[in-house]
């Protein structure tokens, strides 16, 4: 064997070694086994069970005044939002159960039962109660946080307005839409209403016969003495 042969052999060995090294390096770069921060595919509204449970407990959110917000809600917008539910729910009357139960006529219905024998999670069944507007509002914000262990892997609707519009639509998606409660009275007149509500003058006035005039007077009279002591106490306080 002359040195030329040896050169060829060494060259072949080195070449193979370099080839293997390059392939390995490229493979490592291409198939880097690092977990991406986000999954490669995103199914909108679907969360891994762990993520939902891990979400920080949401701060208590004030419930809307349904008597005020429902009549003003955008039902058509709610219907378009409900398309997101249709991944898993059939909303039509007599429609089938899919991944989730049929949702026709769900407002004011018992939770986690019926629905043509849908197999609810024990978490949902155990929660019990009724799907009132409030309950739907809380649940749809973050199903997994509100009912840990639910099979409904839906991230939730952050926006209050979206939830209100959607619930307004769900309400109409029924043979007989659930009743809308009377709007809650405004808070602010309460302070003024208190003296007028003193039932005693009203009773007196009723005796007198002209209830209306009597009422108004009694109210006005009642208000005056209330002001006076207040005036008196003010300087007293200031004197301290
Ligand atoms: C990824 C699938 C999926 C999506 C999307 C989804 N749901 Fe669900 N939903 C479920 C499953 C599964 C259940 C049964 C949950 C259980 O048993 O824990 C359920 C249960 C419910 C229930 C309880 C029904 C009952 O009779 O107790 C309501 C209400 C509900 N979903 C409303 C909605 C609304 C409204 C949307 C759209 C904003 C929605 N869901 C989107 C899968 C889904």
Testing ligand 1's pocket by substitution, the residue of 154, 156, 162 carrying the most ligand atoms inside 8 A of its CB is 154
Weakest mean pLDDT among 2-16, 54-68, 172-186, 216-230: 216-230
Q: What does the alpha-carbon distance between residue 238 and residue 240 come to, in Å, rounded to a whole number?
A: 5
141 CA → ligand 1 middle, Å: 12
The reported pLDDT for the residue numbered 75 is 97
Residue 88 has pLDDT above 90, yes or no: yes
- Ligand 1, atom nearest to 121 Cα: 17
Which one, of 138, 135, 45, 48, lies nearest residue 83 by Cα? 45
Percent over 90 (pLDDT), the chain: 51
CB 106 less than 6 A from any atom of ligand 1: yes
- The answer to whether residues 72 and 96 touch, using CB atoms and an 8 Å cutoff, is no
CB 100 less than 6 A from any atom of ligand 1: yes
46 CA → ligand 1 middle, Å: 11
Question: What CATH number does the domain located at 63-172 have?
Answer: 1.10.760.10
71 CA → ligand 1 middle, Å: 25
- Mean pLDDT on 86-100: 95
43 CA → ligand 1 middle, Å: 15
CB 131 less than 6 A from any atom of ligand 1: yes
| Ligand 1 atom 40: residue of nearest CA | 85
Residue 147 has pLDDT above 60, yes or no: yes
217 CB-near residues (< 8 Å, 6+ apart): 205
Give me the residue label for tokens 């493979």.
27
Q: Which two tokens stand for residue 73?
A: 């809600």
pLDDT digits (tens, 9 = 90+) for 17-62: 888 888 888 777 777 656 656 656 656 666 555 444 445 555 678 9
Reported pTM: 0.62
Phi-psi region of 56 (alpha: psi -120 to 50; beta: other; left: phi over 0): beta
112 CB-near residues (< 8 Å, 6+ apart): 120, 121, 124, 125, 126, 127, 128
CB 84 less than 6 A from any atom of ligand 1: yes
142 CA → ligand 1 middle, Å: 11
Burial of 79 (0-12, 13-18, 19+ CB in 10 A): middle
Cα radius of gyration rounded to whole Å, the chain? 34
List the chain domain ranges: 63-172, 190-227
Testing ligand 1's pocket by substitution, the residue of 101, 104, 139 carrying the most ligand atoms inside 8 A of its CB is 101
């Amino acid at each position: 064997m002359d040195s030329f042969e040896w050169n060829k052999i060494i060259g072949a060995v080195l070449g193979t070694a370099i080839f293997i090294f390059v392939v390995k390096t490229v493979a490592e770069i291409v198939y880097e086994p690092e977990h991406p921060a986000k999954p490669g595919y995103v199914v909108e509204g679907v969360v891994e069970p762990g993520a939902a449970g891990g979400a920080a407990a949401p701060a208590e959110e004030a419930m809307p005044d349904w008597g005020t917000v429902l009549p003003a809600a955008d039902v058509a917008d709610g219907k378009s939002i409900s398309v997101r539910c249709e991944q898993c729910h059939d909303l039509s009357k007599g429609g089938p159960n899919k991944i989730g139960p049929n949702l026709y006529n769900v407002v004011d219905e018992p939770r986690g039962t019926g629905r043509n024998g849908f197999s609810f999670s024990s978490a949902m069944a155990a929660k019990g109660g009724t799907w009132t507007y409030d309950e739907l509002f809380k649940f749809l914000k973050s199903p997994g946080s509100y009912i840990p262990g639910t099979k409904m892997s839906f991230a939730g609707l952050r926006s209050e307005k979206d939830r209100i519009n959607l619930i307004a639509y769900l309400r109409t998606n029924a043979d007989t839409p659930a009743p809308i409660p009377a709007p809650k009275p405004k808070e602010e007149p309460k302070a003024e209403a208190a003296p007028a509500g003193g039932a005693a003058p009203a009773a007196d006035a009723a005796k007198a016969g002209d209830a209306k005039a009597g009422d108004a007077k009694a109210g006005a009279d009642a208000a005056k003495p209330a002001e006076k002591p207040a005036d008196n106490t003010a300087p007293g306080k200031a004197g301290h």
